[in-house]
């Protein structure tokens, strides 16, 4: 019996691929293989934005490719919109996604396990179940890990007292509980990292969402951001929005004003800056420096920066053949480390792998990104970019992106807040096939 994907017309495929990143790939999409034999085995490690998209789009590119997705969690909580949970605008269920659609509709073999080791010479992945998978091509999308050695006094254990909430799930819930337990009149301190890190505007969206929660429930409370840098994404828009919605409730201290935290005392909820200033919090949110998820190290694809250098046109590792890496783990600047980019990169990788399994050249790649942030419930701002390979490196296409206007009326901010919800629903459906 034919499967639903075998009945997809080219037009449906085009529609389903969606997004600016996918369209330029179609002319070079490899033909669908027929018959019972599979056209190669691709193992995908990580079922977040990059990995789940890669698994799905590999099957769409060629249903005859056997695709195995390895992800420990049965339910994935998205970081996008986790700040809205902190602000009281969403519950955790609304940011939860499972793998049923990938299994049932796209015939992806989903294994809930950790990939513990990778042998690139023999093309093998060892799983926490004890099983070993052989791959023809491997996709890694392990996201980020925290650099537990970067901040004196801050490690995995102290993160239970001063949560980072930079991976959604338990950490996010913990931070929310601390905010709820805090007395009115308290101070929420956020320690923000230097670049590069997951989601450049994320800390500043969080500041707005926490300030919103305070405005509604704890009106005498404050937000203090201690930052290891002097500039941040959409800075002018954020600071104007904070002032407009929350007055002086949010204070930001940049690097030049001694904002860089070097020591954390989680027991006493205290932090110390580079020049010895101490700040005491009632709720302490430490977002430490980051690196590629540890399995990338095991695969031998990271460099001394802790991130993964990739060939710009295919996202194959620069260091190890047949391993493709997508998402936050990669060095892909000027593309930001965003869910949108991970999804767009994964589509390019799916097309490149499907082509390489047929000994065809990879199609030309373009990527797009839009980062929406909510400053308040009806106050959205965004920045967008389009990228392509120019002179052997990823470059932003001049004039193709943009940022929300500085002097827009509240009606425009309210519209952007609506677009943000539309974006979230669309990308989750595109990634996991789930309806929100
Ligand atoms: C607060 C916050 C807000 C954000 N808001 C936005 C937003 O509005 N828009 C946006 O585009 N982006 C946003 N982001 C960024 C976005 O979350 C990331 O860019 C995106 O998740 C990256 O996708 P990824 O596939 O690289 O990693 P992830 O989505 O984190 O997926 C990694 C997966 O790999 C799995 N994994 C790791 N190691 C292994 C292993 N050894 N074996 C098997 N599986 C493994 C993990 O369990 C995880 O499921 C936000 C981030 C934060 C923190």
Q: Write out the DSSP string of 354-417.
A: HHHHTT-PPPP-EEEEEEEEEEETTEEEEEEEEEEEETTEEEEPTTS-EE--TT--HHHHHHHH
The predicted model gives 248-259 an average pLDDT of 98
Nearest to 387 by CA among 365, 363, 367: 367
362 Cβ contact partners less than 8 Å away, ≥ 6 residues apart: 28, 313, 314, 351, 352, 355, 356
Ligand 1 close to Cβ of residue 73 (< 6 A) = yes
Query: How far is ligand 1, taken at its centre, from the CA of residue 77, in Å?
Result: 9
Quick check: 17 pLDDT over 50?
A: no
Ligand 1 close to Cβ of residue 45 (< 6 A) = yes
In percent, how much of the chain has pLDDT > 70? 91
Reported confidence tier of residue 434, pLDDT bands at 50, 70, 90: confident
Q: Which residue has a Cα nearest atom 41 of ligand 1?
A: 115
By CB neighbour count within 10 A (0-12 exposed, 13-18 middle, 19+ buried), where does 325 fall? buried
Peptide bond into 74 cis (omega under 30): no
Sheet holding 187-192, edge to edge: 250-253, 222-227, 187-192, 283-286
Quick check: 171 pLDDT over 70?
A: yes
Q: For residue 240, give both structure tokens.
A: 């104007």
Quick check: 103 pLDDT over 50?
A: yes
Quick check: 8 pLDDT over 80?
A: no
Nearest to 188 by CA among 232, 226, 228, 150: 226
The predicted model gives 357-384 an average pLDDT of 96
The predicted model gives 172-201 an average pLDDT of 98
The predicted model gives 79-107 an average pLDDT of 97
Q: Give the position, in ligand 1's atom list, of the atom nearest the Cα of 168.
A: 53
Ligand 1 close to Cβ of residue 48 (< 6 A) = yes
Predicted local confidence at residue 235, as pLDDT: 97
Q: Are strands 115-119 and 124-127 parallel, antiparallel or unpaired?
A: antiparallel
Coil, strand or helix at 424:
helix
Predicted local confidence at residue 260, as pLDDT: 98
Q: Which region among 33-37, 76-80, 149-153 has the lowest average model confidence (pLDDT)?
A: 33-37
pLDDT digits (tens, 9 = 90+) for 227-252: 999 999 999 999 999 999 999 999 99
Ligand 1 close to Cβ of residue 193 (< 6 A) = no
Q: Give the position, in ligand 1's atom list, of the atom nearest the Cα of 203.
A: 1
With the most atoms of ligand 1 within 8 angstroms of its CB, the residue from 208, 233, 293 to mutate is: 293
- Provide the CB-side half-sphere exposure for 427 (13 A, CA): 30
pLDDT digits (tens, 9 = 90+) for 261-285: 999 999 999 999 999 999 999 999 9
Predicted local confidence at residue 38, as pLDDT: 82
Positive or negative CA dihedral for 246, 96, 198, 152? positive
Predicted local confidence at residue 314, as pLDDT: 97
Q: For residue 56, give both structure tokens.
A: 């799905």
30 Cβ contact partners less than 8 Å away, ≥ 6 residues apart: 61, 62, 354, 355, 357, 358, 360
Positive or negative CA dihedral for 140, 146, 148, 152? positive
Rounded to whole angstroms, what are the CA distances from 119 to 29, 93, 132? Answer: 30, 37, 10
Q: What is the largest CA-CA distance in the chain?
A: 70
Write down the residue that tokens 């080791």 correspond to: 117
Predicted local confidence at residue 34, as pLDDT: 43
Predicted local confidence at residue 36, as pLDDT: 53
Nearest to 240 by CA among 404, 80, 81, 385: 404
DSSP string, 300-364: T---TTSSEEB-TTT-BBSSSTTEEE-GGGEE-TTS-S-HHHHHHHHHHHHHHHHHHHTT-PPPP
The predicted model gives 218-230 an average pLDDT of 98
Q: Which helix H or strand E contains 263, and what residues bound it?
A: strand 261-265
């Amino acid at each position: 019996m034919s499967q639903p994907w075998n009945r997809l017309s080219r037009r449906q495929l085009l529609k389903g691929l969606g997004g600016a990143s996918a369209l330029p790939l179609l002319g070079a999409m490899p033909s669908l293989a027929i018959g019972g034999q599979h056209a190669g085995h691709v193992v995908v490690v990580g079922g977040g934005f990059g990995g789940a998209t890669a698994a799905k789009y590999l099957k769409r590119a060629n249903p005859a490719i056997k695709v195995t997705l390895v992800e420990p969690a049965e339910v994935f909580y998205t970081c996008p919109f986790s700040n809205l949970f902190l602000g009281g605008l969403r519950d955790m269920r609304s940011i939860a996604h499972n793998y049923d659609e990938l299994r049932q509709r796209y015939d992806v073999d989903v294994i809930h396990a950790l990939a513990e080791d990778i042998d690139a010479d023999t093309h093998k992945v060892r799983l926490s179940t004890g099983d070993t998978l052989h791959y023809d091509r491997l996709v890694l999308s392990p996201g980020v890990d925290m650099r537990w050695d970067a901040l004196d006094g801050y490690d995995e254990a102290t993160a239970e007292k001063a949560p980072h909430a930079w991976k959604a799930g338990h950490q996010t819930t913990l931070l929310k509980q601390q905010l709820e337990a805090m007395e009115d009149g308290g101070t929420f301190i956020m320690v923000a990292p230097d670049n590069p890190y997951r989601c450049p505007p994320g800390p500043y969206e969080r500041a707005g969402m926490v300030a919103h929660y305070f405005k509604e429930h704890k009106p005498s409370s404050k937000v203090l951001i201690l930052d290891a840098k002097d500039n941040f994404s959409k800075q002018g828009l954020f600071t104007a929005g904070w002032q407009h919605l929350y007055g002086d409730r949010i204070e930001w201290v940049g690097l030049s004003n001694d904002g860089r935290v070097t020591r954390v005392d989680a027991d006493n909820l205290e932090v110390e800056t580079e020049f010895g200033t101490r700040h005491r919090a009632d709720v302490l949110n430490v977002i430490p420096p980051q690196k590629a998820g540890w399995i990338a190290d095991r695969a031998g694809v990271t460099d001394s920066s802790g991130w993964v250098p990739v060939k710009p046109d295919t996202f194959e590792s620069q260091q190890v053949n047949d391993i493709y890496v997508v998402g936050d783990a990669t060095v892909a600047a000027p593309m930001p480390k965003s869910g949108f980019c991970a999804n767009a990169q994964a589509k390019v990788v799916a097309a490149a792998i499907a082509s390489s399994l047929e000994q065809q050249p990879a199609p030309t790649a373009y990527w797009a990104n839009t980062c929406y942030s909510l400053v308040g419930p009806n106050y959205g701002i965004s920045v967008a970019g389009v990228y392509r390979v120019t002179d052997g490196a990823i470059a932003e296409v001049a004039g193709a992106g943009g940022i929300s206007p500085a002097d827009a009326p509240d009606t425009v901010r309210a519209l952007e807040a609506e677009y943000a919800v539309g974006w979230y629903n669309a990308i989750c459906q595109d990634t996991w096939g789930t309806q929100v």
